[in-house]
Amino acid sequence: MVSGFKKLTAIAGNGEGAGLEFKEFLTRETHLKGERRQTLACQMNYKLLQADGKAQYIVGITDSGYLKGISRPQLDESVHVLHAIARDVGADVCGLEEYVVKGGHIGLITIKNKHSERDHILIGTAGHVDHGKSTLVGTIVSGIPDDGAGKTRLFLDVKPHEIERGLSADLSYVVYGFNERVIRLKNPLSKRERADVVQNSGKLVSFVDTVGHEPWLRTTIRGIVGPKLDYGLLVVAADDGVTHVTREHLGILLAMELPTIVALTKIDRVSERAIREVESQIHDILRIVGRVPYKLKAVDGVEKICGKVAQGLLVPIIRTSPVTLDGIEILDELFKRLPKRNMTENGDFEIYIDRVYQITGVGSVASGTIKSGTAAVGDTLYLGPAKDGAFWRVKIQSIEMHHCKVEKASAGDIVGLAIKGVKPHDIERGMVLARNKPAAVREFVGEVYILHHPTRIGRGYEPVIHIETISESVTFDPEREFMMAGESGIVRVRFKYRPYHVYTGQKFIFREGKSKGVGTILNV
């Protein structure tokens, strides 16, 4: 609080420069009516133009710069007024810092133009069970060293059976960010802290932490195929090395055409010789699949390789330890510099639903990762298809991103959308919310590649297929009579039980027991 107060004093001491405005307090009665509202809107718009889309208001301060302080209700009302004025000029309140001075409250409110969008990259983890995926991510987002027994894993695995068994059983989501510095979570379990990170970061990094236990491969595939990931983070434990699950998860990442980063973790547990042996194993499996391994040993080596990593040409291998914090600074620098890959913000809004909730006082909430376009509170969308292929018209009541309420969300954001016009039991994973009415598809033609199958695949083969968040039984009708492992071919695919919204170009994975393959939709 003291350092923050010094910062506030320094800002106030510089006077009302570009993008900075002083206000003692604002009220609905006075400032949200008639000419006064128009004046404030013009003033805010001018400040945003002056400062390249970012303005800051200090509330609780006199025009001369004296830090006076106001009551908490006055501060809350002032923030409400600034929210309303920001909406008038196409901006958002994206940050609030609060300070107490001589018993009074002072607020530093940051407002950003909606057109000056920040980067938000999504990273999906993969790797064998007990190789330390959740522990590594917990340390990255918090900066807290692990105790060697999975202390920081508890920031992600919060269900009782996950804590008791020490195994992740479902997808977990967590976020951290960057401005001039790294913005970590002092308490990653705090919803308020996650919301603050979303509000105050110039760049966001969201992690989708998947499951390494082999029987839950379906959940892992959902975490990699469903969200609109930008990069994959493959975690390999130095005390175990490359396993068949490591190879399988790497295959899934590459099938989805995701640039991949390898974190060689738990290096504090083994000798230098053992580390080199595992690095050699990683090099071998990467070369087999046509990727170039690159040992990234220092922060100053990050900038020169970022472009090649984003293109999928290089796979950086970074030695890490959540216990000693080795490699964490390198990962920070890499995530800070890696560009957003999936830039489809200008397309029509579309999101595949991954989870459904019913929240008291809110109603039906559908969550997932936005594939394309933007959506705002109040927008009307299509939801479906239902089992008969129908779509409902629904309205967005509110939007949350990592527990932070926002007025608008864009492609790549992981969001929860509170929607009106449908009951929770009518919403299912695999449905879409879209700006324009989508097509309900029962059959499509795809090109498939058989990765593994003990015998042959023919007409009537019934695997489970994963497309976006869709996970459904299908029947295959190949052009050829039979297909074997290592072969590719054209297949007509039919959903067994209901239609879904799919379209040309989408990647998919199919599995049945230990049989697996990948494909691309050619025609619907």
Of all residues in the chain, the percent with pLDDT exceeding 70 is 88
Closest CA to 224 of 235, 213, 208: 208
Q: Give 387-438 pLDDT, tens digit per residue.
A: 999 999 999 999 988 878 887 888 888 899 999 999 888 999 999 999 999 9
Comparing 65-74, 262-271, 495-504, the range with the smallest average pLDDT is 65-74
Identify the architecture of domain 350-434 in CATH: Beta Barrel (2.40)
- Would you state the pLDDT for residue 346? 59
**Is residue 212 scored above 60 in pLDDT?**
no
- Would you state the pLDDT for residue 163? 36
**Is residue 158 scored above 50 in pLDDT?**
no
Q: Please check whether residue 505 is in contact with residue 519, taking contact to mean a CB–CB distance below 8 angstroms.
A: no
- Would you state the pLDDT for residue 467? 93
| Dihedral (Cα; 143, 147, 150, 153), 10-degree rounding | -20
With vertex at residue 225, the alpha carbon angle to CA 220 and CA 230, rounded to the nearest 5 degrees, is 110
Task: Quote the mean pLDDT of the chain.
Answer: 85
Please tell me the distance from the alpha carbon of residue 371 to that of residue 413, in angstroms, as a whole number. Answer: 8
Per-residue HEC secondary structure of 265-320 comes to: ECHHHCCHHHHHHHHHHHHHHHHHCCCEEEECCCHHHCCCCHHHHHCCCEEEEEEC
Report how far apart, in Å, the C-alpha atoms of 443 and of each of 223, 317, 476, 493 are: 24, 41, 10, 6
Q: 2-113 with 119-337: one CATH topology?
A: no
- pLDDT-based confidence at residue 362 (cuts at 50, 70, 90): confident
CATH number of the domain at 119-337, out of 1.10.287.10, 3.90.79.10, 3.40.50.300, 3.30.1330.10? 3.40.50.300
**Is residue 215 scored above 60 in pLDDT?**
no
Largest Cα–Cα distance of the chain, in whole Å? 84
**Is residue 214 scored above 70 in pLDDT?**
no
* Per-domain residue ranges of the chain: 2-113, 119-337, 350-434, 443-523
**Is residue 164 scored above 90 in pLDDT?**
no
- Would you state the pLDDT for residue 64? 67
Q: Give 443-471 pLDDT, tens digit per residue.
A: 999 999 988 788 888 899 999 999 999 99
- pLDDT-based confidence at residue 3 (cuts at 50, 70, 90): very low
Comparing 155-164, 183-192, 212-221, the range with the smallest average pLDDT is 155-164
Please tell me the distance from the alpha carbon of residue 213 to that of residue 345, in angstroms, as a whole number. Answer: 35
- Rounded to two decimals, the pTM is 0.68
CA atoms within 13 Å, Cβ hemisphere of 375: 35
**Is residue 355 scored above 70 in pLDDT?**
yes
- Would you state the pLDDT for residue 167? 44
CATH number of the domain at 443-523, out of 2.40.30.10, 3.40.50.300, 3.40.630.10, 3.10.20.440? 2.40.30.10
- Would you state the pLDDT for residue 418? 93
Mean pLDDT, residues 323-342 taken together: 92
CATH of domain 2-113: 3.30.110
